[in-house]
Amino acid sequence: MANLFVKKSLDKLMTEADDSEKGMKRTLSAGNLVALGIGAIIGAGLFVRTAAAAANYAGPAVTIGFIVAGIGCALAGLCYAEFASMIPIAGSAYTYSYATMGEFVAWIIGWDLVLEYALGAATVSIAWSEYLNKLLHIFFDTSIPFEWCHSPFEVSASGANGLINLPALFILFLLTVLLIRGTKESAFVNGLIVITKVAIVILFIGFGWSFINPMNHTPYIPEASLFTDSQGVTHNYGGILGILGAAGVVFFAFIGFDAVSTAAQEAKNPRKDMPIGILGSLVICTILYILFAHVLTGIATVDDFRTQGKEASVSFAIDHYMTGFGWLAKFVTIAILAGFSSVILVMLMGQSRVFYSMSMDGLVPKIFSELHPVFRTPYKSNWLFLIFVGVFAAFVPGDIVGDMTSIGTLFAFILVCAGVWIMRVKHPEIKREFTTPLVPLVPILGILVCAAMIYGLGWTNWLRLAVWMVIGLLIYFVYSVKKSKLNNPEN
């Protein structure tokens, strides 16, 4: 009988790490880690999910949602850092959960990461499509017909029905081809994108503050009620549940902070620098997010975000309410398109790499680890994920895909928090370059805050997560457990 909790040997992983990397150089200071975190965190979520959270859940109180999401990320991030420091190789939560908690948990996290990376890429590609249309309108006074840039589940104010989101498919195809060819972002270009993203946020806050209409912030926390969106989904709007729901939605804006935790082996003083890097970057980004959301919800109304301002909300707010700042709308649109492209590329790459590792372990078919004869990239995996991600990007509304990304990542964070606690009890002897403070309090609080955000996302998202996990479990018990290299050494 298969052992569902068979673990990868830590000694083997240590040896592999020493052989392949000869010990990574400890060159990153606390300041470097904070900068790394800010660059990884500020991305598509802020420019897209803020308006959705305000419209469907919390109104102006979306700012409080950002605080809740930031706290949840900080607690999970401290746990994530300990896990990363236990296994001295680059890799995702899948890799070190396999070594510490066993194959079954590793499969659940690996399967869950599809929601974070693949559906995250779909969410951002849909947002890319929205801002492309805005760019066409600003520069050429034209736009792509509604039916060719929206899913079949969406209807325009004029009654036009969406058919397929072709721009989202286009950018996914283009970036998949780049990934297959092995194109890497240079540090210089990546640095420019990071600077540009931060500049957009600061410029919008600085120039937009004087355009805030106090009436748009009254009441700041709307009275609890129910709101049914354009897809017919009912949300808890206002009150505590609305704020928790908003936190779950804007949580998407924090995805990427785990890049800090995975750098534990390169920190000069991980015990001191890791908490500074994680908490420092999260505090700075949360403050920027709160100010950004406060300005955005003050300039435009909640009704705007539910109707004509639902798409490309930042550019919409500037165009319609910030007279004389048309140049800023143009700059924002171009910069956001570039930033979105970078995020999609990283998410697609991350997804193919996770499945590459799972394929090497036998948990998914070999096709996911077959490398291109010239470019040495997992090209078949890239093509397969283009089809998978493309289906969601082309035929599912962005709000639904974004919420699935958030709930999947939150669930993975709960497992990581629980895993740190379990490992402290069962394997206290394992060397840790960084130790999560106040265990089990921090993991328990991380679990509770992430669970609260999942609760706030509502039963429709719980159902989607449950269906996704059931599909994953079927695949594991029908295929993966029989092909697993640890469970079946003869394979």
Q: Which of 58, 45, 43, 48 is nearest to 311 (CA)?
A: 48
| Residue 20 domain-assigned (yes or no) | no
pLDDT tens sequence across 230-268: 777 788 899 999 999 999 989 888 887 766 766 665 677
H helices, E strands: number in the chain: 19, 2
CA distances from 460 to 11, 386, 465 (A): 43, 26, 9
* pLDDT on residue 88: 54
- Domain containing 320 equals 27-483
pLDDT tens sequence across 9-27: 766 666 655 544 444 456 7
| Residue 259 domain-assigned (yes or no) | yes
Structural domains in the chain (count) = 1
Please name the amino acid found at residue 165: N
* pLDDT on residue 171: 94
76, 450 contact by CB (below 8 A): yes
- Which three-class secondary structure state does DSSP give residue 133? helix
Q: Which of 120, 45, 133, 122 is nearest to 391 (CA)?
A: 122
* pLDDT on residue 379: 87
Mean pLDDT for 187-204 is: 78
| Token code pair at residue 436 | 């999560």
pLDDT tens sequence across 113-163: 888 888 888 988 998 998 899 889 888 888 899 999 989 988 887 888 889
| Residue 3 domain-assigned (yes or no) | no
| Residue 4 domain-assigned (yes or no) | no
| Residue 212 domain-assigned (yes or no) | yes
* pLDDT on residue 218: 92
* pLDDT on residue 369: 86
| pLDDT band at residue 184 using 50, 70 and 90 as cut-offs | low
Contacts with 436 (C-beta within 8 Å, 6 or more apart), sequence order? 78, 79, 81, 82, 420, 442, 443
Torsion of Cα atoms, 253 then 339 then 320 then 159, to 10°: -80
| pLDDT band at residue 5 using 50, 70 and 90 as cut-offs | confident
Distance of CA 392 to the CA centre of its chain: 16
Q: Which of 121, 35, 52, 65 is nearest to 387 (CA)?
A: 121
Report, in this order, helix, strand and coil percent for the chain, each rounded to 5.
70, 5, 25
Query: For residues 94 and 84, what is the distance between their CA atoms, to the nearest angstrom?
Result: 11
- Which three-class secondary structure state does DSSP give residue 118? helix
* pLDDT on residue 21: 44
| Residue 11 domain-assigned (yes or no) | no
The residue that leads in pLDDT, 165 or 488, is: 165
48, 337 contact by CB (below 8 A): no
| Residue 54 domain-assigned (yes or no) | yes
Query: For residues 473 and 434, what is the distance between their CA atoms, to the nearest angstrom?
Result: 33
pLDDT tens sequence across 369-401: 888 888 788 889 999 999 999 999 999 988 888
CATH of the domain at 403: 1.20.1740.10
| Token code pair at residue 14 | 């240590």
| Residue 297 domain-assigned (yes or no) | yes
The residue that leads in pLDDT, 185 or 275, is: 275
Query: For residues 43 and 39, what is the distance between their CA atoms, to the nearest angstrom?
Result: 8
The residue that leads in pLDDT, 263 or 211, is: 211
Mean pLDDT taken over the chain? 85
Please tell me the total number of residues recorded for the chain in this structure: 491
pLDDT tens sequence across 41-96: 887 678 888 998 999 999 999 999 999 999 999 999 888 888 777 765 545 677 76
| Token code pair at residue 139 | 């520069």
Least confident range of 200-209, 263-272, 312-321: 263-272
Mean pLDDT for 458-477 is: 91
- Which three-class secondary structure state does DSSP give residue 250? helix
Buried b (16+ CB within 10 A) or exposed e, 280-299: bbbebbbebbbbbbbbbbbb
Give percent of the chain with pLDDT exceeding 70: 91
